[in-house]
Copies of this chain bind each other. A is one copy, B any other.
Amino acid sequence: MILCDIGNTTIHFLIDKEEKRYFLDEKIPNFKEKIYYVSVNEKGTLKLKQSNNELVNIQDYFEFETNYKGMGIDRKIACYGYENAIIVDAGSAITVDIINNKKHEGGFILAGIKAMKDLYPNISLKLKFDFNTKVNLDKIPLCTQDAISYAILQSIIQPIENIRKKQKIIFTGGDGEFLSKYFKNSIYKKDLIFENMKRIINANDCIA
């Protein structure tokens, strides 16, 4: 079984247990096996279709109830199967989705850590800094480096804690592991999207 997650910048495969990433301008091999995919990027989908025929779009086998308008399929799949949880996908942006009593209640979108780190020196050269990943969040900062590092972290942590009602928090994405350390009752799932794609496939006999 080959799984494929087509994002904004890469096409990400799980081939048995091996992961492969291709940038959008790279050649995608012909895999000679059925590929289950999700995509938030039409260009990437076309790219995949150029070299592969046996494709199943998971989106067609998956219903996600929500009143949220414009929720990407990757976010929906990340939320799949959770009944009480906050799902945080921490990449270039940080999507936060809230599920209470089996209901997706909505979500919000924070800027990603890298974007925030790059932002400060653009505001003013005086705000050039090296990110202190070990800044103490229990103390009020006493220098510029800590003042900015603290602010970046708290501007992510506090809005999430603010809407939390004791749910577990599930982290995924490039900064997910790092951020999960700041939250009690949280877990990091590197392959949340692929795991949930498998669950959807297994729940649909006709495509499994």
**Other-chain residue from B66, B68, B148 in contact with A108 (beta carbon distance below 8 A):** B148
CB distance from A175 to the nearest CB of B (A): 13
Alpha-carbon separation in the docked complex, A126 to B131 (Å) = 27
Give the docked Cα–Cα distance between A108 and B140 (Å).
7
A105 within 8 A of B: yes
- A residues touching B (Cβ–Cβ < 8 Å)? 8, 40, 66-70, 72, 92-93, 96, 98, 105-112, 115-116, 119-120, 122-124, 126-127, 139-144, 146-148, 150-151, 154-156, 158-159, 161-163
Pick the most buried of A93, A111, A120, A144: most chain B CB atoms within 10 A of its CB. A111
Structural contact, B111 and A119, CB atoms closer than 8 A: yes
Closest approach, in angstroms, between the C-beta of A148 and any C-beta of chain B?
Answer: 5
Which B residues are in CB contact (< 8 Å) with A96?
A: 151
Complexed CA–CA distance, A157 and B139 (Å): 18
The chain B residue sitting closest to A115, CB to CB, is B123
A123 pairs with B93, CB closer than 8 A: yes
Residues of B within 8 A of A40 (CB): 126
